[in-house]
Chains A and B, each alone.
Chain A
Amino acid sequence: MTHLSELEIVDQIEGALPPARAAHIADCSVCRAKIEQITEALARAHAVEIPEPSPLFWEHFSSRIRKEIAEAPEPGSSGLPWAQTLSWQWLAASLVVALLLGAGAWRLTTRAPDTPATVASSAPLNAEDPSSIDAGTDADQAWALVQSLADEVEWSDSVTADLAVRPGWVDRAALDLTSEERKELLRLLKAETRM
């Protein structure tokens, strides 16, 4: 039978070695010697106690921590002074406003064919050619702003900030659209699903 491995020796001194393997110990002086050495070291380690600090130390210890914690930022905050003044609600509200502004600006530009500033206005989106959607939105500065803002937001942060879409929100948003907007949305969705 093979000698006990290091892991089995640890199991043996902790009383967790299966009897089938433990039977080897009675026949093997090498393993017995190893187990004896490890057991002896464990006994010496066990016997060591830590000098108990005075009760006064514990009082000071707790009061020092209390003081540090009183000055610390709220748990989980970044610790930056400007960040302490901002709540998640404000951040969420700011992001929503930015998204709405961006979306509004994008809609205005796509509805104004004479506006020369955007590709979207000069080149109407083609549902048959999905790449034209990206070309239109990529050239839109307002949309680019929204994209750059959104790119920096981690998904987990958006969930924590309660920005994730909840059941019913999309339906409600769709109900707020005009019939023209709904048609446009339908066209965009069709184009998107063909990609």
Chain B
Amino acid sequence: MGRVSPDWTIRVGPIEGEAQQASSDRWAVLDDAQLVRACVDGHREAFGAIVERHRRQVYQLCYRYVGTHEDAADLAQDTFVRAFKGLRGFKGQSSIATWLYRIAVNVCLNRLALKTPRPEPLLADDRPDLQAVRPDAALLRAERAAEVRAAIQQLPRKQRATLILRVYHELPHEEIAAILGSSVGATKANLFHALANLKKLLR
């Protein structure tokens, strides 16, 4: 009886997913500055580690700015692509996170200048009827959070950016001033007015 050769072959070496994993592990051990250098030197796959490291923060910044998941995902993606294209311009004077925030804020501001944002729906019909059903604590919390997010989106652009960068990303006033191209005094004033307006909107 002759030998029948199998209709499958044994692959020597890592399969595609494993190779990708090995590649990302290789870059994951480097710090941001080393990753930037690697990208500029032509190892564009190193940028994946930068994305991996900062994607959540950038997405959250965009989400807080525009208030919808779809827009935030688009803007965050745009932020990273622009960051990659402009990587040579990153001189390391600030952290890469701050640099990404700066790009993200500009991307968000540009988007808002082009179109009216879709605010998170907060119509009366969308609110749970607290009289009819026993209010669940989580539901109530979610509703209040939606109210605050909607209010934040009604703030003037610079006040909104200042509030987001200071309250949620805890950037120092100096860095916020650098990102927005204003002074520390103006940044503090913007924060004051953002919170004062938020208070009025949430009454």
Contacts and interface: CB of A to CB of B under 8 A. Distances in A.
Interface of A: 6-7, 9-11, 37-38, 40-42, 44-51, 53, 57-58, 61-62, 64-66, 68-70, 72-76, 79
Contacts of B73: 53, 57, 61
B199 A37 contact: yes
B81 A41 contact: no
Interface residues of B, number: 47
Contacts of B157: none
Nearest to A36: B199
A65 B80 CA distance: 7
- The A interface is mostly helix, strand or loop, or mixed, namely helix
B48 A44 contact: no
Interface stretch (B1-9, B100-108, B128-136, B183-191): B183-191
B39 interface: yes
Contacts of B48: 62, 65-66
A174 to B, nearest CB: 36
A75 B50 CA distance: 14
B113 interface: no
B117 interface: no
Contact of B198 (A7, A45, A68, A73): A45
Contacts of B27: none
Nearest to B48: A66
Interface of B: 39-40, 42, 44-45, 47-48, 51-52, 55-56, 59-60, 63-64, 69, 73, 76-77, 80-81, 84-89, 141, 144-145, 148-149, 152, 163, 167-168, 185, 188-189, 191-193, 195-196, 198-199, 202
22 contacts: A7-B192, A11-B188, A42-B167, A44-B198, A44-B202, A45-B167, A45-B168, A45-B195, A47-B141, A50-B60, A50-B64, A51-B69, A58-B55, A61-B76, A62-B55, A65-B47, A65-B51, A69-B80, A72-B44, A73-B85, A75-B44, A76-B40
A7 B189 CA distance: 6
A47 B185 CA distance: 26
A65 B193 contact: no
**Residue picked from A11, A42, A69, most chain B C-beta under 10 Å:** A69
Contacts of B63: 50
Contact of A74 (B42, B148, B168, B189): B42
B88 to A, nearest CB: 3
Contacts of A76: 40, 85-89
B121 to A, nearest CB: 14
Nearest to A42: B195
Contact of B145 (A47, A53, A62): A47
B91 to A, nearest CB: 12
A68 to B, nearest CB: 5
A10 B192 contact: yes
Contacts of A72: 44, 81, 84-85
Contact of A70 (B44, B56, B185): B44
| 5 nearest A-B residue pairs (beta carbon) | A76-B88, A75-B87, A41-B199, A6-B192, A41-B195
A137 B47 CA distance: 50
